[in-house]
Structure 1
């Protein structure tokens, strides 16, 4: 498209605090941005853009987006979600967003400036609100840009994960309670909440009703403790707002972008939604996967790893993110013939290929590049088994002989600390992205010896010999383990790592985390019902990991770490069979991983052949 010309842009008129009634009478507050001239809204109708947010519709970045789109000829509406900021009602996370979104679009259809179709957009929770509304198929929904959210299944990804609970839900609840209506209305409540030391509270889990950092905001405490206690997949988790896959048949068939990133907690949500909906809908349905942490599409680094100047959207995929989305909305809401539908349906960033040096910001130069694809997962990727070997090896050869298992003691009072990963809203307790897998003072729970995680006796390390050539791994990753335990239940965690060789900048090398996963073993056969183990009996289990795209360079090693905790990313299993969200009981477990010729534990990597 030709560059914007200032004379083509509209002025913007804003109507603030417009109250819109939902079906139950609760009113939600909207700010309406309309194209204008000399301060007066223009006559006529316009395509409409809607963002529904719990983070405050007057937040500067959201306002700037609205001004941008409105200046380009859209009526843009920002709405505070139920019970947030200027909106009425009681707070219930996720589960009211379907009906509230549908009702808001019905109200939009009645406005004089409504041009017939509504496009939705927004990051994270604002993507959840879009998917929730789409499950009800609003008649005037025209297209969607879901950025890092829109739960495919919150039980399996980003709320619970492999049966464990993602503790970023705790940090999110605490931070939003600080910004809650109750906190703003009562200075005593505000002072009490803000005075809490969240690090101390993470040392005292599980939280109890009336005895948590959320006790002054009962709505937030109730929803968190309720969702933490629900450890089985049931009708609760199948609700609109939590499980789009239950509603794929009726999910809106409109043009839609599912966007996420390799260090984002919603990478599986985006790819799962894309795979299912691209096969069912005319759409078109497209997928965009970057290398960022949650929402950080304009910075080149993820954690302590730099992906290079090409990693960001700005001046790579478009002038900037607003213009990237503008092209999408112009095509599907204004019917501008800009060739968008001719673009390949999948755009992804393949990480790796950098110099491996330390850049001027003291980050590892990991590098990478964008690539277009026709499908996901990639048809040409070969699912390749890398088998766990005796003495910490990892190889394509099937293990031979009756090798003894590797054993370790898993003490829930001394969990393996989280060092990066697919995290959002975890600050200040946990950090997202890629890091050298070494304990340091910046990571909660790290021990002051500050040694590599691989040196811990409760972390099993399996790695290849130095690679003889580059190996690209792009797609979903799974681990098949044969395990046993002295306990009736325990967790097994897996982490895929790109091991850099020693260099001038990194004399001990650099162990870069790429993706991870967890399985609470009592869910090995079903998410609906639990089955405790018989101590000492051997079981075959699968640990699912989040999708990834990474090029392991010649001389690097592919490494798989196996353990039984990753805290505070996930809640810690007490090994008793009880839910650690409701029970503080904990016992130490002796856990074993088998890698003999009859029980060949392995990681399944989607290897893309070199061109």
Structure 2
């Protein structure tokens, strides 16, 4: 490695917050790995200048083995003295076959792991790391590896990866189309990075109907993932079963290091994974910061924590210090440490929806319901939130709250800071004029100037094929009781601020509009208006449920 290369590596390592080391290594490119079906996948081998077999850090990703991803996710580990094998997944960057996201990573991953272990440069010990899609490639292997992996780091991802694309049963059209356009540009040899004009094309495409060909409208050509996403969104479709590792046996799952962000689209499902791993006795370290998906601070934390994690598990280095769970408390500028997730010691506060737009601690007397009409021809918009690409996070909700199809319930000024840390839920009692509808609940923070900003939200797609269910029941009076799981958070509502809750029938374009007809969203055109009645009397106590830390 030349002087310029060492200097460039030092700059990258300093930006990533890892020790400034420059261990000598060589790179052997385009090693062929045969798959059982005859397809060959290509990988690059980063080998430290050390004699004898060594443990291997395996990274499998669809975004290429050179350029940005090599500099950020392979070379930094090699400079720390780790042996790395980074492989392009099927159908990407020289690897054979077709790239059908999430559908082949289980078989290909296990075959690659077996091949790595057979190489004379591997001592049999293998760890995996990476975020997002190459976090998914770890879930596709880790529960099934025999012998087990030594350690994993599945960041900003989830065992049930499709949860981010069908949140609460509602198709997350904006995130899915943005990623589809990125993949389409990559496969066409173009620029896969998001641009302002690219985002505008995605927005225009999502406004069109039907949505089946929105990939062509936004990116100029069909993309297999978008066609799979739109074609397999109906309840009970088994297409995505091969990508779902939520029910995998975790008895041999290796120790896991996880980093995510409160505004990451996978955070809700990833924290459910953390609970399952903890319950199975798997050692887990978790960091949740104030980040959106792929934000530089998030990527820096991934590499920084992984260097110590891999050093400990592959080389016997010092174990990471501090509590297993580290959470950024938003609006407080501080970090909290806990022994597990969800944090112990919280109490659940109930904030009841009130007639006239109030939000109170106690149930209301017998009052008339609040109502609105959702029109799919003019879908309720969304602003901010956990998006795959920015802008996202918090946004001014004035335009949303000014609409007639959004109910707004606001509480009194808080007399003291309120720290909400953990999963957030809502229970809403509903009467609907249609069987097919979406229920959206959003928690906002209203500052003393009256500016309302989103904090967390959740959606539940109501469909007679999936109702009743564990989270949707129907009372003797015909009223639906819908449990909505909002995103988890760690957030300080400051004294003098007010809590605000939205109830709506859509969040467009983040989620595909619900036509109200039951037609598949890919082919639906037009739609029917749906009348919502939200009940909030003593017999129907609609409420928000907040996990609150005790005042310090």
Q: Structure 2-normalised TM-score?
A: 0.89
Q: 1:437 aligns with which of 390, 393, 397?
A: 397
- State yes or no: 1:207 paired with 2:207: no
Correspondence 1:94-493 to 2 at 5 A: 94-139=102-147, 141-151=149-159, 153-154=160-161, 157-167=163-173, 168-180=175-187, 183-184=188-189, 197-208=201-212, 212-213=216-217, 216-217=221-222, 219-227=224-232, 230-239=233-242, 241=243, 243-247=244-248, 249-250=249-250, 252-281=252-281, 283-298=282-297, 321-336=302-317, 338-340=318-320, 343-353=322-332, 368-400=333-365, 402-425=366-389, 431-438=391-398, 452-493=399-440
Return the alpha-carbon distance in structure 1 between the equivalents of residues 309 and 214 of structure 2.
47
Q: Which residue of 1 aligns with 2:33?
A: 20
Q: CA deviation at 1:4?
A: 8.4
Contact 1:233 1:528 in 2 (8 A): no
1:11 to 11, 24, 39: 24
Matched residue, 2:451: 510
Larger helix fraction of residues = 2
- Is 1:580 aligned with 2:544? no
The question of whether the paired residues in 2 share the 8 Å contact of 1:264 and 1:294 is answered with yes
CA distance, structure 2, for counterparts of residue 218 and residue 254 of structure 1: 35
Spell out, residue by residue over 1:280-335, the C-alpha distance to the aligned partner (whole angstroms, 9 max, x if none): 13x3122221111012152xxxxxxxxxxxxx796xxxxx6533211110111111
Give the structure 2 partner of residue 361 of structure 1: none
Q: Is the 8 A contact 2:206 2:214 kept in 1?
A: no
Aligned to 1:442: none
Contact 1:291–1:349 (Cα < 8 Å) also in 2: yes
* Cα offsets for 1:252-307 (capped at 9, x unmatched): 421101221110111112211110111113x3122221111012152xxxxxxxxx
Could you tell me how far apart the structure 1 residues matched to 2:546 and 2:471 are? 28
The match for 2:101 is 93
* TM-score, normalisation: structure 1: 0.81
User: Deviation per CA, 1:355-401, whole angstroms, max 9, x where unpaired?
Assistant: xxxxxxxxxxxxx211110121122111221100111111111111x
CA distance in 1, matches of 2:459, 2:199: 33
CA contact (8 A) 1:495 1:562 kept: yes
Cα distance, 1:32 vs. partner? Answer: 1.1
Stretches of structure 1 lacking an aligned partner (at least 5 in a row): 37-41, 186-193, 299-311, 315-319, 354-367, 439-451, 503-508
The DSSP-based 3-state class of the residue aligned with 1:134 is: coil
Give the 3 Å change call, closer, same or farther, for CA 393–118 of structure 1 in structure 2. Answer: same
Matched residue SS, 2:164: coil
Separation in structure 1 between the aligned mates of residue 363 and residue 471 of structure 2, nearest angstrom? 32
For residue 546 of structure 2, what is the aligned residue in structure 1?
605
C-alpha distance 526-297 of structure 1, shift in aligned 2 (>3 A):
farther
Distance in 1 of aligned mates of 2:469 and 2:87: 36
| 1:446-484 CA distance string (max 9 Å, x none) | xxxxxx321111111111100011111111111111111
Q: For the aligned residues, what is the CA RMSD?
A: 2.9
Distance 2:392 2:456 in 1: 11
Superposition deviation, residue 564 in structure 1: 0.6
Equivalent pair of 2:29/2:45 in contact (CA under 8 Å):
yes
Distance 2:228 2:470 in 1: 23
1:233-254 CA-partner distances (Å, limit 9, x unpaired): 3543432x2x22211x246421
Conserved 8 A contact 1:521-1:541: no
Distance (whole Å) between structure 2 residues aligned to residue 154 and residue 4 of structure 1:
29
Q: Supply the distance in 1 between the matched residues of 2:61 and 2:215 (Cα, whole angstroms).
A: 29
Instruction: Go from structure 1 to structure 2 and tell me whether the alpha carbon gap of 1:532 and 1:277 turns closer, same or farther (over 3 Å shift).
Output: closer
Return the offset for 1:589: 1.4
- State the alpha-carbon separation in 2 of the partners of residues 296 and 464 from structure 1: 33
Aligned to 1:363: none
CA deviation string 1:555-588 (max 9, x = no partner): 0001111101101111111112333233224011
Judging changes above 3 Å, is the alpha-carbon distance between structure 1 residues 115 and 216 closer, same or farther for their aligned structure 2 residues? same
Kindly indicate whether the alpha-carbon contact (under 8 Å) linking 1:116 and 1:140 is maintained by their aligned counterparts in 2: no
Of 49, 53, 58, which residue of structure 2 is paired with 1:45?
A: 53
CA distance in 2, matches of 1:313, 1:412: 38
Aligned to 2:4: none
Give every structure 1 segment of 4 or more consecutive aligned residues whose post-TM-superposition deviation is greater than 6 Å: 3-6, 527-534
- Per the alignment, do residues 531 and 10 of structure 1 end up closer, same or farther by CA in structure 2, a change over 3 Å counting? closer
| 1: CA distance, partners of 2:236 / 2:489 | 26
The match for 1:555 is 496
Please list the CA deviations of residues 422-455 of structure 1 after superposition, one character each: whole Å capped at 9, or x if unmatched: 1114x6xxx32111213xxxxxxxxxxxxx3211
